[in-house]
């Protein structure tokens, strides 16, 4: 029988409990702290995965927007070429203003394509960074062995 430290309710230990030894050895505050740390770890993992999904989604939107800007610039360039070829650059002022508007729109579309391309590169760099930071202190591997004891253990088993 186990008893809840908060409400005093008694209950039976679940049969499929994995950490039987840990539950018997640990005091209730230690168990509560361990459970809380596991919840925080799980929450942090969910937050990181949600943020990474958002960055992937944003990068996808930027790819689509950059492609749309580039295709628009190409379309405007072909319209400018056809307009200039039809009129041989001898046109009334209104057609000249329309051609200048096409040129300005094409430059704006190219600027948008380059802007989105820079943002895509920045987001890709952010996604390639490892999610875990390097530890400040190097780990101490001195108590670890080099593995030769496994060979000795196997030889001892044979004898």
- pLDDT tens digit sequence for 29-38: 666 666 667 7
When pLDDT is averaged across residues 86-101 and rounded to a whole number, the result is: 86
The answer to whether residues 109 and 69 touch, using CB atoms and an 8 Å cutoff, is yes
Q: Which of 29-43, 59-73, 107-121, 126-140 has the lowest mean pLDDT?
A: 29-43
Alpha-carbon gap, residue 20 to 111, rounded angstroms: 64
Nearest to 70 by CA among 105, 115, 101, 110: 110
Alpha-carbon gap, residue 54 to 39, rounded angstroms: 22
Q: Which of 12-21, 25-34, 104-113, 124-133 has the lowest mean pLDDT?
A: 12-21
The larger pLDDT score, comparing residue 47 to residue 25, is at 47
Q: Does residue 63 have a pLDDT over 80?
A: yes
């Amino acid at each position: 029988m186990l008893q809840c430290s908060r409400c005093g309710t008694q209950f039976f230990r679940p049969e499929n409990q994995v950490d039987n030894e840990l539950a018997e050895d640990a005091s209730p505050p230690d168990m509560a702290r361990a459970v809380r740390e596991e919840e925080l770890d799980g929450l942090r993992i969910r937050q990181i995965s949600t943020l990474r999904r958002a960055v992937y989604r944003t990068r996808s939107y930027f790819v689509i927007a950059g492609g749309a800007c580039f295709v628009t610039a190409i379309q405007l360039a072909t319209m400018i070429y056809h307009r200039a070829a039809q009129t041989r650059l001898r046109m009334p002022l209104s057609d000249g203003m329309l051609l200048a508007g096409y040129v300005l729109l094409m430059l704006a579309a190219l600027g948008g394509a380059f802007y989105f391309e820079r943002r895509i590169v920045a987001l890709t760099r952010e996604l390639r960074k490892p999610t875990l930071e390097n530890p400040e202190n190097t780990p101490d591997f001195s108590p670890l062995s080099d593995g030769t004891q496994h060979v000795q253990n196997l030889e001892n088993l044979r004898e």
